[in-house]
Amino acid sequence: MIEIENLEFNYKNKFQLNIPDLIISEGIVGLLGTNGSGKTTFFKILSTILPFKKGNINIYGLNLKSKNYREIRSILSYMPQNFDFFPRFKVYEVLEYFAILKLMDKNIVPQRIEEVLTEVNMLDYKNSLAINLSGGLKRRLGFAISILNKPKILLLDEPTAGVDPKERIEMRNSIKKYSKEHLTLISTHIVEDIENLCSDVIILLNGDIKYVGKTSDFIKNSPNVYIFKVKEDDLEKIKTLGEIINIKYLDNIMEITLVSDKTLDAVEKNKTLESGYLYVQNKNSFIKN
C-alpha cells in the first residue's frame, strides 16, 4: 500500500508536482499522462531517487522521510523507461549482478533466475549477450530484473514504449501474471496499455492529478462523443461545439469526432478511455468519479 499526503515537488522552479491525499492499495494502477506531465518524477520520488520536502509518503508503513532506503528498496522495484547493460555480460550474468545489488540470498539466486527467465519467456536467451538483444527482449530482461527479488510494489515506466505489437503483448502478459499478488503502477502515454491492464487509472497533467478512480467510471463519466460529417467551410463552427479529437477526410467532406459536455444533435459514438483522456488533455479539466 502507498499512502500519500499533500506531496509537493518543485524542479528548478519550472515544474511542480502536486499529489494531494492519495491511497494506492492493490491491483494494476495506470498513471496516464503526456510526456513531461510528471509521471517519471513521481516514480523517482516513490523509488527514493528524488528527495522531497513537502508532504508525506508511506509505503507499507515505511515513511520515505525516515530515509530507511534499504528497507524501502527491498519491497519496491522500479523499471525506468531507459536502461542498458554492461556490454560483455550475458543475460544470466546481468541477473546475477542485480541479485547482488538487491542483497539476495546467494543460495536462492540460481533457482530464482531460472524462474524469472521462465516467467518472461527468455530461458533460451540466458547465455546471450544482453547488449545484442532486441529492444523488446531488453524490455523483458528489464522486467525480469525488476521482479527478481519479488518486490511487493512494482513501478514500470513506459514498459511497452518502442516495442512491436508482439513484444507489447508479451510484456502485458508478464505484467498481468506478476501483478495477481503484487501492487503494480504503470506509467504510460499509451492509452491501449491502460485499457488492457489497469482496473484503476490516475490522470496526470502538468503535474496535477485530474482523475483518480476506476477506469470504467472515468469512461462512464466522461463527456459524450459525436460524429459530424461536414464540409471544410463548416470546421470553425464545429470547433465551437466541443473538443475535436479526430478528423478523417472522405472525398469532399470531413468526418469529425468531437467530445462535448453538451447534448448535440448529431450521431453519438461510444465513449472510450481515449476520448475522455483527450478531452481532459485539451481542456485541462477534471473528470468526477
The distance in angstroms from the start CA to the end CA of the chain is 21
Q: What tens-digit pLDDT sequence spans the chain (289 residues)? A: 899 999 988 877 776 888 988 999 889 999 998 888 889 999 999 999 998 889 999 999 999 888 788 888 899 999 998 888 888 899 999 999 999 999 999 999 999 999 999 999 999 999 999 999 988 899 999 999 999 999 999 999 999 888 888 888 889 999 999 998 899 999 988 898 999 999 999 999 888 999 999 999 999 999 999 998 888 888 888 888 988 888 998 888 889 999 988 888 888 889 999 999 988 887 766 666 5
pTM check: above 0.95: no
Residue range(s) of every CATH 3.40.50.300 domain in the chain: 2-215
d(Cα 78, Cα 185) in Å, to the nearest integer? 10
For residue 271, how many other CB atoms are within 10 A of its CB?
18
What's the pLDDT score for residue 259? 92
Q: For domain 2-215, say whether CATH 3.40.50.2000 is its number.
A: no
* Cα dihedral 120, 123, 127, 128 sign: negative
> Of the candidates 88, 80, 11, 12, which has an alpha carbon nearest to the alpha carbon of residue 46?
80
Report which of 123, 77, 119 is spatially closest to residue 102, judged by C-alpha positions: 77
Sequence-distant (6+) residues with CB within 8 A of 83 are 138, 142
94, 141 Cβ separation under 8 angstroms: yes
